[in-house]
Structure 1
Amino acid sequence: MVKPDGRRQLALVLLCTAVFLDSMDLSLMGVALPAIGRDLSLPEGTLQWLVSGYAVTYGGFLLLGGRLADLLGRRRIFLLSLTVFAAASLVGGLLSDGWMLVITRVVKGLAAALTAPAALSLITTTFAEGSQRTRALGVYALAGATGYSGGLIASGLLTEVSWRLVFFLPVPIALLVLIVAPMALPKDGSPDRAIRRFDTVGAVAVTAGVLSLVYALTETNWPAGGAAMVLLAGFVLVERRQRFPLVPLRVFRSRTVSGANLAALAWACATIGWQFAAVLYLQQVHGYSALATGLGILPMGVAIMVTAKHVGRLIGRWGLGRTATVGMLVQAAGILLFLRAGTDADYAGVLLPALVVHGVGNGLSFPTLNIAAVSALSDDQQGLASGLITSSVQIGAGIGVAVPASLLAAAAPGIDGYRVAFLTAACFSLVGAALAHFGLRVRTRGTQAPAPA
């Protein structure tokens, strides 16, 4: 029989493993696309949707997923969605039709949109406020932040053997979590009676609005962007009149909630946008292979892990606002160091320092913003808090990729286009620093430093 403390730690490992899978799946496909296209003779439009299909559904259904976790049971939603995620991964590895592959990616995106907020809200309701919760949220944020880099490395290795292994990789990991999870995760209570008054109109409006917005950003489709604005404006009107709204608008009166989510959006614009441009720079300018690219950015992942391990103590000493602000400023400095990169930039002397500095800033800011976003709301709204912060990151990722992609397409061939993209990403990070500084000034409950190990 697992002891209570051991059970909580096991639950944390399982939940972090799930969010690592969700983040890793964002990057696993990108490196494998050329091999898939050659093997199945797929056009670029179909290949792009192997990435976009996952991102659009992931970003679009997060708020709904978070609310369903609150209403139907966090453990129940977590186990169900992870089962669907594993099944879609297995089926995808067996298929050879392009659009059927896209459908499996869409299904995985929907499953991830339910898994992520359920996992985060399980952590915040399993660990008591204070040092335990701060440490657990730091580990969770670290798992999400390193999943993307881990996906690049794994994809490079697996694609050398077969692109189908990229689809199969999550299956045994997810199955292991599903086998162990019933022993570690707390059981759900009775379903909330509020389910009888579920805000169906609000759910449809916000899900369709966010789906349209992420699609518009991913595809640079301005009509979809206009539709998103109309749907989201309609959602606000609906929520103001609802007695039991999907997203109570009063939560945004909290400066911490608003500040954390806006800063997280800017964080994603900066770090995902920079990573998009940096991967292209390493491959197209320096001629790195997919595997070499993944290994090249590995020091950044190590810096994130080392820094995030100590972020709880810094929050206890500096507070949420100062920690997040410093992190965003350091991240911006790391991105700006890439302006030194040229066509013949030395890795050890130019690229490595920039990667490490960026990783330190990333490790400070991302966990802090996650802690701020969920610590400001009560336990019965943790699914909502989780959905909001993850939606902010996903929407920011869409903006972060769309902007440098447009800049690179408009720029003349050569290093100048990449420098403009890096400078833009740094500006996003500076905006995030300002949002964190002014929005997270008040110390939020449950953020004192962990006790020394």
Structure 2
Amino acid sequence: MSTGTFTSTDPTDPTDPTNTTDSPEPAHPAADASFLATPRGRLTLVLLCAVAFLDFVDASIVNIALPSIQRDLGLSNQGLQWVPSGYLITYGGLMLLGGRAADLIGRRRVLIAGTVVFAVASLIGGLAQSSAVLIGARLAQGVGASMMLPAALSILTTSFGAGPDRNKALAAWAGTGAFASAVGVFLGGVLTEGPGWRWVMFVNLPVCALVLPAIPRLLPDDRHRVSTRGFDFLGTVLATGGLVLLVHGLVQAPDQGWGSSRTIVELGVAGGLLLAFVANEAVGRNPLMPLAIFRVKGLAAANVTQLVAMSGFIGMFFFLTLYTQEVLGYSEIKAGSAFLPVTVGVGIAAGLAQPLLARVGTRPLIVVGALIASLGIGLLSRIPVHGSYLTDLLPGLVVMSFGLGFVFVGVATAANAGVPADQAGLAAALMNTAQQLGGAFGLAILSAVATSETGRRLAGGDAAADAYTEGFRKALLVGAFLLAGAAAVALFVANTRGEEARRP
């Protein structure tokens, strides 16, 4: 089976939009046809990238709005952390389930359902008059995103033919993800200082309003007939419970203490559930995560690379946001604007990555990208108390942004290459679960490093600004080492150029 997006009433005409015939997979154009060269193909890519933008931007857009949210709703510091963390917990914890559901019951159906959940949760969050409602809305947003993202990425990888089409599509997808992570901070600042923090939630609604009617018009109906008797309910419970507990434990560990009984029990139970999940998948007849997927060359290494790299990237955004506001005294808009050069660098890097993939393959691209990013974050780890944006922040951000673009594109291509079409949703879920776990792991580790160093400095009599800056510096330095570690792991990634044909 070749790749594409359409099932037509005329099997020789893959562009007939009138047909809605159900099939296990969308019918695909001829191997020598370029779906991306058609208007429908380009619109499909725009639609899928819009979904990616929504999900990635919501992981960062609320960060700058947190002080305003705290003042308005009267949250404690402990309660406030649930606003960003609630999204990450359900987003990362349910991603595997969302991806496998897309494979089994239809990617378009899961994408529509997830977008509806995401939109309703955004509306409720924007209207929230209490902290409990807002946190509940953020948890629900994560549920919707965990359905949307793997469904959208698996549609992309099964819609665009192997080779230049898929490389360009994955470069656009990865560039969108990196762009959204950076621009979210800027948008959060603009909206918070402008119409108010509630618009960091309301801003999702017009995008969802455009995405929802476009999904059935552009994407084929790929419903599958599946019996619930064949669904891996035990595996679902074990995986979901284990991942939710793991992400929650990592997010809460810096506040609860790594040595606290609650943290130890939570992470221990999470580890036990995940081990039981792997054992269940090895013997189950219809596993949620067929372990055979890890026979795809380099897939495991690509996902580990993603996890390690994101632990450094996410931490960098978090600590520089704190540094610009708490130490340099930037307003929300100014702090958000500081990251705009990152979006430019990521866009340029994503554009350069596509032809580089065709020439050198994914492995050199990821290794070099991770090393460039490590250098950029290393430069940022030298931030002073009385810092200058032009000399102390901009050079490191620009260098880091190029590395970020290369890593995103290379990992997205490597983690999906050679995966059978009927497991594309699972592959997408694994990659994005690695990203969310990496973010949670990185924030937990780097927060512990920063807090320890700041506490030591304060105890020694340092001024608050000096103590905080030293904590941020040490955390950023550890982040740079994590990116260097990601480069080492990437040496085991399959060096694909995206040319592998998908197998039914």
**TM-score normalised according to structure 2 size:** 0.86
Match of 1:433 in 2: 487
- 1:318 is aligned to 2:352: no
User: In the alignment, is residue 63 of structure 1 matched against residue 117 of structure 2?
Assistant: no
For 1:69-218, list aligned pairs within 5 A.
69-160=102-193, 161-188=195-222, 190-193=223-226, 196-218=229-251
SS at match of 1:29: coil
Q: Give me the whole-angstrom Cα distance separating, in 2, the residues matched to 1:399 and 1:229.
A: 14
SS of corresponding position for 1:84: helix
245-254 or 3-12: bigger deviation: 3-12
Q: Cα distance, 1:24 vs. partner?
A: 0.8
CA distance in 1: counterparts of 2:383 and 2:184, whole angstroms:
25
- 1:386 aligned residue: 428
Amino acid at match of 1:287: G
Could you list the per-position Cα deviations for residues 197-220 of structure 1 after superposition, in whole angstroms to 9, with x for gaps in the alignment? 111111110111111110011001
The residue that corresponds to 2:274 in the other structure is 232
Name the SS of the counterpart of 1:163 in structure 2.
coil
Gaps of 5+ in 1: 448-453
Alignment deviations for residues 387-438 of structure 1 (CA, whole Å, 9 cap, x no partner): 0000000000001111111111111214322221111101110111011112
Structure 1 distance, partners of 2:121, 2:238, is 27
Structure 2 distance, partners of 1:266, 1:327, is 13
SS of corresponding position for 2:334: helix
Tell me, yes or no, if the aligned pair for 2:105 and 2:226 is still in contact at 8 Å: no
> Which one scores higher on RCO, CA 8 angstroms, separation ≥ 6?
1
| Pairing partner for 1:249 from 283, 291, 307 | 291
Q: For 1:443 and 1:146, how far apart are their aligned partners in 2?
A: 23
Cα separation, partners in 2 of 1:339 and 1:47, compared to 1, 3 Å: closer
Q: Is the 8 A contact 2:347 2:405 kept in 1?
A: yes
Q: Which residue of 2 aligns with 1:417?
A: 471
Q: Quick one: structure 1 residues 274 and 301, their matched pair in 2 at CA, closer, same or farther if it must change by over 3 Å?
A: same
Native 8 Å contact 2:172 2:350 kept in 1 = yes
Kindly report structure 1 stretches of 4+ aligned residues shifted beyond 3 Å: 1-4, 192-196, 441-447
Distance 1:194 1:143, change over 3 A: farther
Worse overlay, 37-46 or 424-433: 37-46
* Alignment counterpart, residue 355 of structure 1, candidates 397, 400, 416: 397
| Offset at residue 140 of structure 1 (A) | 0.8
Aligned to 1:276, which of 305, 318, 321?
318
Distance in structure 1 (CA, Å) of the matches to 2:365 and 2:440: 25
Residues 136-159 of structure 1 show CA distances to partners (whole Å, capped at 9, x for unaligned) of: 011111111111222111111111
Question: Whole-Å Cα distance in 1 between the matches of residues 468 and 318 of structure 2?
Answer: 16
Q: 1:45 to 1:341 in 2, by over 3 A?
A: closer
SS of 1:340's partner is: coil
CA displacement at 1:441 relative to structure 2 = 4.0
Q: Is 1:256–1:442's contact at 8 Å kept on the other side of the alignment?
A: no
Percent of aligned positions that are identical: 38
- Seen in structure 2, the aligned counterparts of structure 1 residues 100 and 339 have a Cα distance that, compared at 3 Å, is closer
Cα deviation for residue 45 of structure 1 reads 2.4
Structure 1 residues 173 and 414: alpha-carbon distance in aligned structure 2, compared to 1, 3 A threshold: closer
Shift of 1:439: 2.8
Amino acid at match of 1:78: L
Q: Does 1:15 align with 2:83?
A: no
Distance 1:298 1:179 in 2: 31
Whole-Å separation in 2 of the counterparts to 1:94 and 1:80: 22
Cα deviation, 1:267-319, whole Å, max 9, x if unaligned, reads 10111112212211222221122211111111111100111012111111111
Q: Which moved more, 1:61-70 or 1:192-201?
A: 192-201
- Residues 135, 442 of structure 1: alpha-carbon distance in 2 compared, 3 angstrom cutoff: closer
CA drift of 1:180 comes to 2.0
CA displacement, residues 339-366 of structure 1 (integer Å, 9 cap, x when unaligned): 3321123322232111110000011111
Amino acid at match of 2:431: I
Task: Write the distance in 2 (CA, Å) between the matches of 1:2 and 1:379.
Answer: 23
Report the TM-score, using the length of structure 1 for normalisation.
0.95
Kept in 2, the 8 Å contact 1:117–1:387? The answer is yes
Q: Which amino acid aligns with 1:178?
A: L
Is the CA contact 1:26–1:51 (under 8 Å) kept in the aligned structure 2? yes
AA paired with 1:217? L
Give the residue type in structure 2 aligned to 1:151. Answer: G
Which structure's residues are more often helix, by fraction? 1
**Which of 366, 385, 392 is equivalent to 1:343?**
385
Cα distance in 2 between the residues matched to 1:158 and 1:2: 42
Whether the aligned pair in 2 keeps the contact of 1:325 and 1:437 (CA below 8 Å) is yes
* Cα displacement (A) at 1:52: 1.1
1:451 matched to which residue of 2?
none
Partner of 2:340: 298
Partner of 2:499, secondary structure, is coil
Given that residues 163 and 497 in structure 2 are in contact (C-alpha distance below 8 angstroms), is that contact kept between their aligned partners in structure 1? Answer: no
Q: Which secondary structure state, in structure 2, belongs to the residue aligned with residue 58 of structure 1? A: helix
* Corresponding residue SS for 1:129: coil
Q: CA RMSD in A?
A: 1.7
For 1:434, the aligned partner's letter is A
Determine which of 14, 21, 25 is the counterpart of 2:58.
25
Which amino acid in structure 2 is aligned with residue 166 of structure 1? V
1:255 Cα deviation after fit = 3.8
* 1:50 corresponding residue in structure 2: 83
Q: Contact conserved, 1:131 with 1:446, CA < 8 A, in 2? A: no
Q: How far is 1:6 from its partner?
A: 1.1
- The amino acid of 1:273's aligned partner reads G
Distance change (3 Å), C-alpha of 1:166 and 1:105:
same
Q: Which has the larger radius of gyration?
A: 2
CA–CA distance in 2 between the matches of 1:42 and 1:84? 25
Give, in whole Å, the separation in 2 of the partners of 1:281 and 1:153: 15
Query: Residue 400 of structure 1 aligns to which amino acid in structure 2?
Result: G
Displacement of 1:2:
8.9
Contact kept in structure 2, 1:267 and 1:366, CA below 8 Å: no
Deviations 1:325-380 (A, max 9, x none): 00001000101111332112332223211111000001111111011111131111
